[in-house]
Amino acid sequence: MPFTYQRTVRFQDTDAAGVAYFANILSMCHEAYEASLGAAGINLNQFFCYPRIAIPITHSTIDFMRPLFCGDDIKIYTTPKQIKDGEFEVAYEIYVIEVVDRGVKEVQESCAARAFTKHVCIDSAARVRTFIPDEVMKWLVKWGDANQIAAMETDLLL
C-alpha cells in the first residue's frame, strides 16, 4: 500500500511561465519520501544528519502528463521497492485533486507526473556498499508493493 502525501503547489514552486519547475517536482517527491520515512517511525534527524549508513540517490527520472500550477492541491503516492540487498527504488505518482461540480460535487484525481528515484546504501565511514538497514526494511514492508512484500516474507520463511 503506497504512502500518500498531500500538499499545495506554492508560488515558489513555479517558474516564469507560471507552472511548477521540473526540479521542484522532484523536491516535492523527496518531501513525500521524508514524510513516509517519518510515518514509518524513522527518526529523520538521525537518518539524514548522523547516519552509519548513508542512502544517496543515484538516479532519478520524471515524466510529465500535465502542468502543475500555483494553488493546485496534489497527492503524491509513494511506493518503495527493494531492487537488491543494498538498493531500492521509490516510485512516485503525482495527482492533481480537483473538485468538479456536475450538480453533485465530486473529487477527481488526474495524474500530472510519475517519478522514480534509485537509492544505494553505503557505509558512511568506509564509503562502500552495504545492506539496507533494518529500519529501512521495515519502511519498505510498510509502504511497499504488496506482491513484493509477500515474496520477501516467503523468502524469509524458507
Kindly list the catalytic residues. Answer: 15
What angle, rounded to 10 degrees, do the helices at 134-143 and 22-39 form? 100
Specify whether the CB–CB gap between 106 and 100 falls below 8 A: yes
Q: Which of 43, 48, 34 is nearest to 5 (CA)?
A: 34
**Which alpha helices (H) appear in 16-157, and where do they start and end?**
22-39, 44-49, 134-143, 146-157
- Judge contact between 5 and 76, C-beta under 8 A: yes
Question: Which residues are bridge partners to 84 per DSSP?
Answer: 87
Give the count of alpha carbons within 13 A of 71, CB side only. Answer: 2
